[in-house]
Structure 1
């Protein structure tokens, strides 16, 4: 295989983030599915690419790159006009903080591997799983709404152009809808996501589109 290859799972939040970034740059890439419901992320082929046994992995420029935010920042650095992070240090810090609030706080406790283990050791069923997801996704996005109460918030999370924080927010709201978390009162979050969903890059990266392509 040659060119840009994204090893991913269609409903993975981390994969979704990277898809948005790739589509924002109008980069052609090949999607190679790694089915985490079949535990394929822990099989030797994926471990050879991603020793953590996770998705996504991006094959590009002769490298195998892991960790969605590190991949997005790499793309931002090699494509000067990407604008995924703002040019000023204070702005970059804020966008990273917003991104980390989702990718490093909310997402990890709702990761499939974590939730499956919790259900196994507690003998929890579907109701317990749903309650877990609703609690942590709902609380995480409520905190994110408070972070958006800032003069630097514009039409999007930071200013008037979508960037890395928006790439994290949209997949998390997708998960909120999937698991039935009540985020109806989060006015800033919902307004930003609505704007993002109208953009071609976000629409092209949606899990429904990704599922059809694999």
Structure 2
């Protein structure tokens, strides 16, 4: 398998965690979002969304179902659930229908309600629009505007997630083992810290982050541990 990713992309970070938890060998192909490499023709031909991550599948011998070795998947949650079906151990979703739905609820709150509003292309667009509307080239003013936007949606999202994870007493979001909820939460915490958002008021989220940081699958996936070839 080959993972097309950007080291700081939280969506890519999620997939790296999942691959590590599953113990799957894969190659990384770095895509520099700052250089707009995701918009280059050769990448668009592979992944029409022009986003990361994308996972180019290798032939799979772990399942009786056929797998097209040239197939490419985009969207981190679709990739993670595919991996969970093809490589069922360890489970990334709980076994009971209710817990499975609640786990997805947490993951989707992060992936759909927080992340899209704060990803790079949205922040760049906001900065451009703010510059036009104020007719100013003041970069500090634009950065402050972006930070206020980012913090607003982080607080809104983390307020929700904190209440959702309080339903379970275990060390992770949903019970005793990491799930897709933790896989989404940890990269979002990383991004929050990059923008100087204080997560300490969220006691349960903070404990989950501490617990996940003890696992090699999460540590190896961290952006600081990714080799950059650009």
For the criterion TM > 0.5, the same-fold answer is yes
Are 2:96 and 1:88 equivalent residues in the alignment?
yes
Aligned to 1:198: 214
Counterpart Cα distance in 2 of 1:13 and 1:102: 11
Once residues 9 and 47 of structure 2 are traced to their aligned partners in structure 1, the CA distance between those partners, rounded to angstroms, is 15
Q: Partners in 2 of 1:154 and 1:11 — Cα distance?
A: 28
1:75 matches 2:75: no
Find the counterpart in structure 1 of residue 137 from structure 2: none
Identify the residue that residue 56 of structure 1 maps to in structure 2. Answer: 53
Task: Flag structure 2 segments of 5+ consecutive residues without an equivalent.
Answer: 59-68, 132-140
State the shift of 1:171 in Å: 0.3
Aligned-partner SS, 1:161: coil
Q: Which runs of 4+ in 1 moved over 6 A?
A: none
User: What CA distance in whole angstroms lies between the structure 1 residues aligned with 2:41 and 2:104?
Assistant: 32
Q: How does 1:64-213 map to 2 (within 5 A)?
A: 64-123=72-131, 125-150=142-167, 152-211=168-227
Counterpart Cα distance in 2 of 1:183 and 1:85: 25
SS in 1 for 2:174: coil
Cα distance in 2, alignment partners of residues 101 and 15 from structure 1: 17
1:96 and 1:165 in contact (8 A); partners too: yes
Give the number of aligned pairs: 210
Instruction: Render the CA deviation track for 1:5-42: whole Å, top value 9, x for unaligned.
Output: 00000000000000000011111111101111111111
TM-score, normalisation: structure 2: 0.88
Cα 1:38–1:81 change in 2 (3 A) is: same
Larger Rg: 2
Name the CA distance, whole Å, in 2 between partners of 1:88 and 1:148: 17
Give the TM-score of the pair, scaled to structure 1.
0.94
RMSD: 1.3
* Aligned partners of 1:7 and 1:58 also within 8 Å: yes
- In structure 2, the residue matched to 1:6 is 3
